[in-house]
């Protein structure tokens, strides 16, 4: 079985920092670290069999097929580059946030 390299975009890293900040301010430092680490652990699992995750047709294009993995109410949004054998995490999105805004934002992703 091929293991993919994992790349986490600056946008996804910023999302994770924002999640941690929100949880620190509204819940606790402990919860913030636990959630962030659990999201990263879930992202690490994408190295093996990333195609086992759900397609995300609402934001996919002819050039790029997006998928997502879930960790609690968070979607870890990514695409696979088969040539380079990489999984590229582009966004971490909480399900309570506006899905239409996510679709609009995705139009500007590289």
**Measured distance CA(92)–CA(14) in Å, rounded:** 9
Note the pLDDT of residue 110: 64
CATH 3.10.310.10 assigned to domain 5-106? The reply is no
Q: Tens-digit pLDDT profile for the chain (110 aa)?
A: 789 999 999 999 999 999 999 999 999 999 999 999 999 999 999 999 899 899 998 888 888 899 999 999 999 999 999 999 999 999 999 887 777 777 777 877 76
* Tokens encoding 33: 């670290």
Note the pLDDT of residue 76: 95
In what helix (H) or strand (E) does residue 94 lie, and over which residues does it extend? strand 86-94
CB 68 within 8 A of CB 78: yes
* Tokens encoding 109: 């992703």
Q: Where are the domains of the chain?
A: 5-106
């Amino acid at each position: 079985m091929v293991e993919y390299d994992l790349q986490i975009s600056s946008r996804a890293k910023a999302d994770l920092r924002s999640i941690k900040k929100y949880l620190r301010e509204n819940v606790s430092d402990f919860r913030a670290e636990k959630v962030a680490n659990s999201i990263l652990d879930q992202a690490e699992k994408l190295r093996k069999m990333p195609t086992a995750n759900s397609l995300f047709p609402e934001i996919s294009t002819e050039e790029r097929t997006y998928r997502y993995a879930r960790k609690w109410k968070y979607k870890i949004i990514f695409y696979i580059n088969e040539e380079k054998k990489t999984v590229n995490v582009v966004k971490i999105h909480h399900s309570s946030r506006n899905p239409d805004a996510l679709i609009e934002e995705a139009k500007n992703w590289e």
